Amino acid sequence: AQSVAQPEDQVNVAEGNPLTVKCTYSVSGNPYLFWYVQYPNRGLQFLLKYITGDNLVKGSYGFEAEFNKSQTSFHLKKPSALVSDSALYFCAVRGSTSGNTPLVFGKGTRLSVIA
């Protein structure tokens, strides 16, 4: 079985400061990891993914994530937060590269960037 843990319900950060949203996962076999962002009353927007290769993955809007196999983590990061980054962030895992299998989501972390 696959699972994702996002230990923080809420993360507050000042504008211009670096941000980190934490994610750990559990999966048998190779993990395929994703981050999505959700704005109010909207669907999910894809930010980035880790399939294979470099552990540091760069995605949309200046976000990046680091895959750490030994710690089974895939934390989302951004060097300088913007107020517009305030949203709900979901980490997800899939035990297969096939798009025919569903993603398993964490509970989400609400990011609030304060001006």
Partner 1 sequence: GAVVSQHPSRVICKSGTSVKIECRSLDFQATTMFWYRQFPKQSLMLMATSNEGSKATYEQGVEKDKFLINHASLTLSTLTVTSAHPEDSSFYICSAGGPAVTEAFFGQGTRLTVV
Write out the residues near partner 1 by the rule CB under 8 A: 32, 34, 36, 41-46, 49, 51, 90, 97-103, 105-108
Distance of closest approach, residue 93 Cβ to partner 1, in angstroms: 12
Shorter beta-carbon distance to partner 1: residue 47 or 81: 47
Contact present, 113 and 13 (Cβ < 8 Å): yes
Alpha carbon distance 65, 77 (integer Å): 6
Contact present, 8 and 99 (Cβ < 8 Å): no
Distance of closest approach, residue 71 Cβ to partner 1, in angstroms: 22
Distance of closest approach, residue 18 Cβ to partner 1, in angstroms: 25
Which amino acid belongs to residue 43?
G
